[in-house]
Structure 1
Amino acid sequence: MIENRPGLTFLAHLVLIAGVLIVALPVWVAFVASTRGATDFMSGTIPMWPGPHLIENYSRMLDTGLSTSGTPPVGLMMFNSLVMALSIAIGKIAISMLSAFAIVYFRFPFRGLAFWCIFITLMLPVEVRIVPSFQVVAGLGLLNSYAGLSLPLIASATATFLFRQVFLTIPDELTEAARIDGAGPMKFFRDILLPLSRTNMAALFVILFIYGWNQYLWPLLITTDAQYYTIVAGIKRMADVVDGLPQWHLVMATAILAMLPPVAVVIGMQRLFVKGLVETEK
């Protein structure tokens, strides 16, 4: 039974509204800055209402970009980030599902050791292995390429662990029924495991897409050709101005544009995302 306590309800709503305002205020300030002129934020005061240059600033960044920073138009950088994020998300899910499938349903020597060798790589983030990873990518001639941006980040111990836990919850009777019906391993994987893992795949896709989209250090390191700059690294290059002040109104316009694809993915897949995180029974 849920008691009706107006005071607690009011306090809960107050805390939620305060949290929303704290999170939304920086985004609002960035949006306001993106609609202002070049000198509006140099006076020491921060305007809190949009200005008259919204269409002008956004059109400029989408069409020509900020040439003084050496970056291409924002549209190209967003496309590069989109290719990288999709490659990482789809690649991680595909490889992790196959790895978990092999670990759970196949019997081979040192199966447990293989899983723990994969799992222990969680202690080796990209920043720790970035120098050998760069040497490998450079030796393969993958600098300034989509493959170089994506392939070193595709393997995922976390996704492998999550899919392993999902597969372990599938009843053995279902596996035996599929074997009796003459289903081979790949048919069982395609017709049974994939549909049962749909919500988990959706939840992981959202997380991994945002992970790939927000990558900063790796794209900054391996891209020297402006045609392969990603949006996050591009924002950093726009903010680093040697001879002059950063054009913050254009940098903020780029930051707002960079937020749109991840927000669209989260909103579009919200139902499956939440269901994949909370669903425990198959």
Structure 2
Amino acid sequence: MVENNRWGNFFAHLVLILGVAIVIFPVYVAIIASTHPPGTFIRGVMPLLPGPNALENYKTVITEGRSRAGTPPIGGMLWNSFVMAMAITLGKLSISLLSAFAIVYFRFPFRIFFFWVIFLTLMLPVEVRIVPTFQVVADLGMLNSFAGLSIPLIASATATFLFRQFFMTVPEELMEAARVDGAGPMKFFKDILMPLSITNIAALFVIMFIYGWNQYLWPLLITTDPEYYTIVMGIQRMVTGGDSEPLWHLVMATVVLAALPPILVILFMQRLFVKGLTETEK
């Protein structure tokens, strides 16, 4: 029987509350800063209560952007980041599912060798191979395009490895039963493996979406047209662009809006995300 220690519970909850406060406080500061006029920050004082300019600041960064903050309106940049993140996420999941399925369920020469070749690409992130990747993208005419933003980042050795490990735990009796019922490989994949992989797909979807949303270096290299700027690039340009001091109230408003899509994805898929990371029995 577990002893109910009142002081132990108190200190455990105290530690949790302090941890949450430490994590939430910078977010709170960003939200508060996005509601104040620009003159507030010239004085060097950070207010902790909301200001009167919230609607004006958010309207400015969404609709005007460049004239007031040295960057295009963020409405288009949010859309560009969303398209890029979704393309990377769906591409990674599709390729990883199919490649893991082929490695586990098809018998062909050197299949284990090919798996390890895929796995070894974990040691070659995009930053390491960025020069040859940029050259290929430029030669194919994909600069300043959504294809150029997303296709070079689609391959995922991590997702392939995780799906392979899960597929290896699926009982062989399911495959034999499907074969007896006349199901072909793709029907077995679609009707049996895919439903069993929902929690894994959801967990990887959240991780890959945030990975795609937060990309900065690659979009910075291949986009010179403001129509293809992403929101992370926009934040950086708002902080460093121009000869004047950064307009911190607009920067913080942009940061708050940029954080909303990943937060909504996590909240929407929270249950499946947690199950995909913790569930051991399918």
C-alpha distance in 1 between matches for 2:32 and 2:66: 19
Matches of residues 136-215 of structure 1 in structure 2 within 5 Å? 136-215=136-215
Contact 1:144-1:225 at 8 Å conserved across structures: yes
Amino acid corresponding to residue 130 of structure 2 in structure 1 = I
Q: TM-score, normalised by structure 2?
A: 0.98
* Structure 2 SS opposite 1:75: helix
Q: Is the 8 A contact 2:70 2:242 kept in 1?
A: no
- What do the CA deviations read for 1:58-93 (whole angstroms, capped 9, x no partner)? 011111113365522111100000000000111000
After TM superposition, which residue ranges in structure 1, 4 or more long, deviate above 6 angstroms?
none
Mapped to 2, the partners of 1:258 and 1:77 lie a distance apart of 9
**Aligned partners of 1:88 and 1:176: how far apart in 2?**
34
Q: What residue in structure 2 maps to residue 222 of structure 1?
A: 222
Cα gap change, 1:70 to 1:228, in 2 (>3 Å) = farther
Query: For the residues of structure 2 that align with 1:103 and 1:119, how far apart are their CA atoms?
Result: 12
Tell me the secondary structure at the aligned position of residue 39 of structure 2. coil
Task: Give the aligned partner of residue 21 of structure 1.
Answer: 21
Which residue of structure 2 lines up, in the alignment, with residue 73 of structure 1?
73
The answer as to whether partners of 2:60 and 2:68 remain within 8 angstroms in 1 is no
Comparing 255-264 with 34-43, which one deviates more in the overlay? 34-43
CA distance in 2, matches of 1:73, 1:244: 19
Query: Quick check: 1:238–1:246 contact (8 Å CA) kept in 2?
Result: yes
2: CA distance, partners of 1:261 / 1:67: 25
Task: Report the number of matched residues.
Answer: 282
* Structure 2 letter corresponding to 1:64: E
Whether contact under 8 Å (1:91, 1:154) holds in the other structure is yes
RMSD: 1.0
Cα distance in 2 for partners of 1:170, 1:212 equals 30
How far apart, CA to CA, are the structure 1 residues paired with 2:45 and 2:21? 20
Q: Distance in 1 between matches of 2:106 and 2:16?
A: 48
Cα distance between partner residues in 2 of 1:95 and 1:169: 20
Q: Distance in 1 between matches of 2:213 and 2:202?
A: 16
The TM-score normalised by the length of structure 1 is 0.98
How far the C-alpha of 1:242 sits from its partner, in A, is: 3.4
Q: Is the 1:85–1:212 Cα contact (8 Å) retained in structure 2?
A: yes
Once the 2 structures are TM-superposed, how far is the Cα of residue 163 of structure 1 from its aligned partner?
0.3
Q: Deviations over 1:211-269 (max 9, x none)?
A: 10011111111110000000011100111133111101001100000000000000011
| Structure 1 runs not aligned, ≥5 long | none
1:241 aligned partner: 241
Residues of 2 paired with 1:139 and 1:182: CA distance? 46
Rounded Cα–Cα distance in structure 1 between residues aligned with 2:100 and 2:209: 20
Mapped partners of 2:158, 2:69: distance in 1: 37
> Any idea what the Cα deviations from partners look like across 1:134-193, whole Å, max 9, x if unmatched?
111111000110000000000000000000011001001111111111111111111111
Identical residues among aligned pairs (%)? 68
Describe the shift of the 1:229–1:73 C-alpha distance in structure 2 as closer, same or farther (beyond 3 A): same
* Unmatched tracts of structure 2, length 5 or more: none
Q: Determine helix, strand or coil for the equivalent of 1:242.
A: coil
* Conserved? CA contact 1:70–1:226, under 8 Å: no
